Amino acid sequence: MGMEEEGGGGGVDKKITIGVCVMEKKVFSAPMGQIMDRLQAFGEFQIIHFGDKVILDDPVESWPICDCLIAFHSSGYPLEKVQAYSSLRKPFLVNDLDPQYLLHDRRKVYEHLEMYGIPVPRYACVNRKVPNQDLDYFVEDEDFVEVKGERFWKPFVEKPVNGDDHSIMIYYPSSAGGGMKELFRKVGNRSSEFHPEVRRVRREGSYIYEEFMPTGGTDVKVYTVGPEYAHAEARKSPVVDGVVMRNPDGKEVRYPVLLTPAEKQMAREVCIAFRQAVCGFDLLRSEGSSYVCDVNGWSFVKNSYKYYDDAACVLRKMFLDAKAPHLSSTVPPILPWKVNEPLLSNEGLTRQGSGIIGTFGQSEELRCVIAVVRHGDRTPKQKVKLKVTEEKLLNLMLKYNGGKPRAETKLKSAVELQDLLDATRMLIPRTGPGESDSDAEDLEHADKLRQVKAVLEEGGHFSGIYRKVQLKPLKWDKVTKSDGEGEEERPVEALMVLKYGGVLTHAGRKQAEELGRYFRNNMYPGEGTGLLRLHSTYRHDLKIYSSDEGRVQMSAAAFAKGLLDLEGQLTPILVSLVSKDSSMLDGLDTASTEMEEAKTQLNEIITAGTKLVHDYVSSELPWMIDGAGLPPHADEHLPELIKLAKKVTEQVRLLAKDEDEDEPSASDLAPPYDQAKALGKSNIDIGRIAAGLPCGSEGFLLMYARWKKLERDLYNERRDRFDITQIPDVYDSCKYDLLHNSHLGLKGLDELFKVAQLLADGVIPNEYGINPQQKLKIGSKIARRLLGKILIDLRNTREEAMSVAELKNSQDQVSVSLYSSRKEDRYSQPKLYIKSDELRRPTIGENKDEDEDKETKYRLDPKYANVMTPERHVRTRLYFTSESHIHSLMNVLRYCNLDESLQGEESLVCQSALERLCKTKELDYMSYIVLRLFENTEESLEDPERFRIELTCSRGADLSPLEKKDEEAKSLLREHTLPIMGPERLQEVGSYLTLETMEKMIRPFAMPAEDFPPPSIPAGFSGYFSKSAAVLERLVKLWPFNKN
C-alpha cells in the first residue's frame, strides 16, 4: 500500500482522497511538495502517494482506491498499466492519460495544435524508415532545404520527431557566416553549442524542419493549471549564446511575464486540446505574433511561492467541483498556510539624474536610449574591373542569368563563386608576370585575372558576406542556334566587377564589443549591470537594426554581445537579435546628384589653389564658409601625395614579387586564414604576423593590387589630372597599414599618412556638402527615413510613459478605495479567472504598435516579479550604419535651424559644440550619436518640460596612437586596435532641450509617420496598466474573495 498523509482538522466529514500515481523522482521535487503541502493545509483532502514499488510491481487491482488521480508520464512510467487502473476505478483525472502518448511525437503535437487552430511555426516533416534513406521529396541546397516543394531558407530549425530527443539544431545562412547551433537539455552552465563548420543537415532519422522565429533572444514558458489559469516566465533563449543565466543560488534566472489576451486564449486551448489541466508549453513571440513550438505535459513553476498558492487554490477548486460540488470552493480570506516568503531582492533605486548634462533632480527617469553607430575597424574596400571575352566566363554569366544574353548576373553564393574560381584558374596564362611578349594590355588583363583568383582563394572557403561579382554584357553577336534553325543573340564581351574587402577586422569586433560594454555600464544610470536585469525582465525593450553590409551587421552583433554580456560566436547573436533594414540604413542613391555636385565644387576649390569666400564670417563662424576644413593651398600637397604613394607601392611590389618567386612561401608556414572562424575572434592572427605576412587574410599580391590601383587612380599621368575623390581611399589604406601592418616596416608610410590625413580631413566632410546649407540638404535626403524612425521611437516612448502615468494615477485612486474596504485581507490573492473580455481574440493588427517594426508590448508580471519597480520601462533602439549616415544625421542636427521654415530658431547644437565639431575632421569607426529621453515625473502631464532630450556624440576611434610614439601607443599597436573616444555634450551644461522643441526642429527633414506602414491603435500597454479605473473596479468586484 502507498503512504497516507492525514490532513489537519477540517470542516468536511469525509475527506476527498487524492492519489498521486507518479514516479518518486517527480513526487519529491520541490514544487510538487510545496503544492501538495498547501492542498493538505486546506483540511479537505487525504493525499495518497502510490510509490514506485506499487506502480511498477503490484497489480492494479491492489492499488489504493482514490477519488481524484494525479498521473503523468516520465521515463520508465507504465502508462498502459495506469490506464487500466483508471478504467477499473474511474477516478477524476487531472490530466487525461490517452493524450499523453501524443506528447512523445512532435509531428502529432503539431498536427493536434493545428487541428485546434493554435498557431505553430511554418514546418514540414521528413520521415525516414531507415537511417540515411534517400527521399525524392527532400532537397538540400547550400542555403535552404526543400520538403515536398516547400522551401525553408536558412536560418531554419531541425527537430527530431521523437519528443524525448532534445537535440535540436539551428542552421545559419552563409550570408551570416554559416554554421550550426545545437540546443540540448542544460548541462552544467550550457544549453547550446555552436559548430561553425557544420553546414549539412542530419540524415540519420526523421526530422521536422521549421522556420526560425526571431524572438529577440527570449523564450517564454507557459504553465497552465486548468484552462482558466496560466502563469508565464521568460528566460534567456539558448539560441543566443547557450550560457544559462543563474542567480546566486545557482538556479536558472527566469522572470514572470504577462500574457497578451491572445496568448491567454492559446493557453486555454492548449489545455483543452491535450486534456492536460496541468500543462507546460513553449511560446515563441516573434514580430508581433505568438506561436506554440512545444507542449511538455505536466509541468510546475520552480521557486515561486505565489504560484504555489495559486496552483493549490485552482487544484482545490477542481477537486471540489468534481467530487463535492455542494461545498463552496470560495477561497478563504486568509490562506491556511504560513510560508515565510523570501524577502524581495532590492534592485537599487532607479530614479536618477542624467549625469552628463547636469542633474535635473531625483524625479527624473530615463525612458529611452537611441543610438546611431558607425561600424568598427574594417579592411580597405576594393574593386577590380576588367572586360572579359573568354568563352568560359561568358557561359558562366549565361548559366546564372537564366540564359538571357542581355541580362546582368550577380554571383555571391559559395557554389557560384566556386564556379568562377574554377574558370579563372584555367584562364590564367602559365607564364609568370612580365615574361611573355604580349602587349601591355594583355599583361594587365592577366594581372587582373590573377587578382580575381587571389581574392576568390582568400580565406580557404566562401562565407558569403564579403565577396560579390557582377557580370554585365557589353557586346553581342548573332550566332546560329544549336539546333541549326535560325539565329540567336549571344554576348561576346562583358564587364566583370569584383567587389571585396571592407571586412570587419578583429580590432573592429573588439571595438564594437567594448563599446557595447561601455553602454551597458554608462548609458543606463542607476542600473549599473542592472541593464541585464532590466532586459531579461521585459522592462528593457531593445531592438537592434543594421544595414545590409556584412561589416555593419557584425559590428551590431559584437556590440550586442558586449551590451548584454553574451558569450561565444557572433553568427547566432546576429541572427537572433539584429534586424536588417537597408532602406533606412544603406545607400546614398537618394542624394547622389547633390553629392556629385559637391565633389565637383570641391575639386574646383582644391585645384584652383585658393580658398573661396573669406569674409567676416570665417573668424566668428568658420564652419559657414565653402570648403571649411580644407588646408590653405591644398593643391600644393597633391604632388607630394603621389610621390609618397609611389614609394610605398614600389616596396609592396617587391614583397609581392618575392612571394610570387618563392613558391613554398612564408604563407605556407602560417595556417590558412579561415574567415568563418575569424568572425568569432577578437584577437590577432599571431602566426601570420610572426611569419612576416600582412595581417588578416590579405596576401602580398592583393596588398600590391590595392596600392597599385590607388596610385593609378589618384593621378592620370597622360592627362596630368588628379582625382581628389581618391584621397579618402589613400587615407583609408594608410590608416589600415599603419595599424595592422606596421610590422612590415614600410618606409614613407608615416609621411604619406600625415599628408593624406591633412587632405582627407578637408575632403571627407565636404563630400556631404561644401557649406552648411548643402550639408543640410544632402543630410536630410540620406537620413530622411532614419530621422522619421527616430521621431516615431520618441513619440511611442512619450505616449507609453503618459499612459502609464495616467493609468497609475487612476489605479492609485482605485487602490485607496479598495484598501478602505478590505484592510483585513493581508494576502495577495490568486489570479484565478481570466474574464471573457480578456479572452477576446485580437483582430488583425490589434496587437501591433504604430511603430513600423511590429512591436508588441510584452511586460513583466508585477504580482509575481521579484523586482522593486515592475512598471519601470526603458526603450533602446540601436541603428548600425556607415559613415554617410553618421555625417548626414550630424549635419541635420547641427544645421536644421538654417532651413527657411525654422528661421530665427537656435541650433539644437550649442556654439561651443559647433566649434568642436568644426575642428573634428573625422567621424571615425564606432563614432556614434546618442539621444536619451528623460521624464520628469514631478512635472504635470501637459507641461512640455516633462520630457527632456539629451544629445551626445563620440568621434569614434582615437587616432592619437598612430601619431604619438609613446609606450601606450606601442602597446595599442601591438594589439592592432584603437580606443574609442567617450561621448561629448552637444548642449551647454544645464541647458534644457524639450522633446517638443526637438520634434519641431527635426520634423521638416524626417519621413512623415504616415509614410511608414499605417498605425492601428495608439501605442499603450497590453499589459500591466492597460485597464482603466472602471475596468479595474469591475474586476475587483468579480473576484470571489472580495464578495464579503
Using one digit for the tens of pLDDT, what is the confidence trace for 719-756? 888 898 999 999 999 999 999 998 999 999 999 999 99
pLDDT at 1044: 33
In contact, 10 and 41? CB cutoff 8 Å: no
Cell numbers placing 255? 522572470
Write out the H or E segment, with its range, that includes residue 795.
helix 784-821
pLDDT at 47: 96
From residue 373, how far is each of 442, 573, 765, 780 by CA, in Å?
45, 18, 17, 18
**Beta-bridge mates of residue 162:** 105
Q: Is 1 helix (H, G, I), strand (E, B) or coil?
A: coil
**Residues 826, 832, 836, CA angle at the centre, nearest 5°?**
130
CATH dotted code for 364-376+508-588+781-1030: 3.40.50
Give the whole-angstrom CA distance, residue 799 versus residue 939. 15
Distance between terminal CA atoms of the chain? 44
Strand-pair category, 207-211 with 123-126: antiparallel
Place of cell 561621448: 983
For residue 535, name the pLDDT band (cuts at 50, 70, 90).
low
Cell numbers placing 131? 537511417
pLDDT digits (tens, 9 = 90+) for 366-405: 899 999 999 999 999 888 889 999 999 999 999 998 889 9
**Beta-bridge mates of residue 139:** 146
In contact, 26 and 32? CB cutoff 8 Å: yes
Cell numbers placing 854? 511590429
In contact, 252 and 231? CB cutoff 8 Å: no
Residue at 6: amino acid letter: E
Strand-pair category, 92-93 with 68-71: parallel
Give the whole-angstrom CA distance, residue 958 versus residue 174. 33
For residue 531, name the pLDDT band (cuts at 50, 70, 90).
low
**Beta-bridge mates of residue 278:** 225
In contact, 479 and 487? CB cutoff 8 Å: yes
Give the whole-angstrom CA distance, residue 194 versus residue 499. 30
Which residues, 6 or more positions from 57, have their beta carbon under 8 angstroms from its beta carbon? none
pLDDT at 148 over 90: yes
DSSP symbol at 1027: S
For residue 870, name the pLDDT band (cuts at 50, 70, 90).
low
pLDDT at 926: 96
Strand-pair category, 578-580 with 540-546: parallel
In contact, 439 and 458? CB cutoff 8 Å: no
pLDDT at 1034: 36
pLDDT digits (tens, 9 = 90+) for 664-699: 443 343 444 444 444 444 567 788 888 888 988 788
**Beta-bridge mates of residue 716:** 721
Domains 3-93 and 102-321 share a fold: no
pLDDT at 862: 63
Alpha helices of 463-616 — where are they, by DSSP H?
506-522, 530-536, 550-563, 570-577, 582-585, 592-608
pLDDT at 641: 94
For residue 849, name the pLDDT band (cuts at 50, 70, 90).
very low
Q: Where are the domains of the chain?
A: 3-93, 102-321, 364-376+508-588+781-1030, 390-497, 634-719+727-738+745-762
Between 483 and 930, residue with greater pLDDT: 930
pLDDT at 211: 95
Residue at 130: amino acid letter: V
DSSP symbol at 138: E
pLDDT at 853 over 60: no
Helices 550-563 and 570-577, axial angle in degrees (round to 10) = 90
pLDDT at 859: 67
Residue at 634: amino acid letter: A
pLDDT at 897: 92
Give the whole-angstrom CA distance, residue 369 versus residue 360. 17
Virtual CA dihedral for 276, 277, 281, 285, nearest 10 degrees? 130
DSSP symbol at 925: T
In contact, 550 and 583? CB cutoff 8 Å: no
Cell numbers placing 102? 501524443
pLDDT at 867: 54
**Beta-bridge mates of residue 220:** 234, 283
CATH dotted code for 3-93: 3.40.50.11950
**Domain 102-321 is found in CATH 3.30.470.20:** yes
Strand-pair category, 16-21 with 68-71: parallel
Between 884 and 327, residue with greater pLDDT: 884
Cell numbers placing 330? 470560495
Q: Among the ranges 681-690, 786-795, 810-819, which has the highest mean pLDDT value?
A: 786-795
**Beta-bridge mates of residue 3:** 49
pLDDT at 697: 79
Write out the DSSP string of 157-206: EEEESBTT---EEEE--GGGT--EEEEEEEETTEEEEEETT--SPP-SS-
DSSP symbol at 84: H
Sign of CA dihedral 28, 34, 39, 42: positive
Describe the chain by its helix, strand, coil percentages, rounded to 5.
Answer: 40, 20, 40
pLDDT at 589 over 50: yes
pLDDT at 221: 93
Q: Is 862 helix (H, G, I), strand (E, B) or coil?
A: coil
Give the whole-angstrom CA distance, residue 19 versus residue 71. 8
Cell numbers placing 274? 491535450
Q: Is 468 helix (H, G, I), strand (E, B) or coil?
A: strand
Give the whole-angstrom CA distance, residue 591 versus residue 721. 26
Give the whole-angstrom CA distance, residue 737 versus residue 973. 11
pLDDT at 355 over 50: no
Give the whole-angstrom CA distance, residue 446 versus residue 151. 41
Between 426 and 95, residue with greater pLDDT: 95
Give the whole-angstrom CA distance, residue 584 versus residue 984. 26
pLDDT at 222: 95
DSSP symbol at 61: G
Cell numbers placing 236? 534567456
Strand-pair category, 928-936 with 364-374: antiparallel
Give the whole-angstrom CA distance, residue 151 versus residue 154. 10
Cell numbers placing 240? 543566443
For residue 991, name the pLDDT band (cuts at 50, 70, 90).
confident
Which residues, 6 or more positions from 53, have their beta carbon under 8 angstroms from its beta carbon? none
For residue 1035, name the pLDDT band (cuts at 50, 70, 90).
very low
From residue 864, how far is each of 308, 822, 828, 861, 921 by CA, in Å?
11, 21, 10, 6, 53
Share of the chain above pLDDT 70, in %: 80
Mean pLDDT (the chain, rounded): 81
For residue 634, name the pLDDT band (cuts at 50, 70, 90).
confident
SS (H, E, C) 254-274: CEEECCCHHHHHHHHHHHHHC
Between 155 and 632, residue with greater pLDDT: 155
Give the whole-angstrom CA distance, residue 3 versus residue 15. 16
DSSP symbol at 950: E
Q: Among the ranges 251-255, 603-607, 893-897, which has the highest mean pLDDT value?
A: 893-897
Residue closest to 748 by CA, chosen among 653, 646, 644 = 644
Is the bond preceding 155 in cis, omega lying within 30 degrees of 0?
yes
Where b means 16+ CB within 10 Å and e means fewer, 330-349 reads ebeeebebeeeeeeeeebee
Q: Among the ranges 76-90, 320-334, 933-947, which has the highest mean pLDDT value?
A: 76-90
Cell numbers placing 662? 618563392
In terms of residues, how long is the chain? 1044
pLDDT at 564 over 70: yes
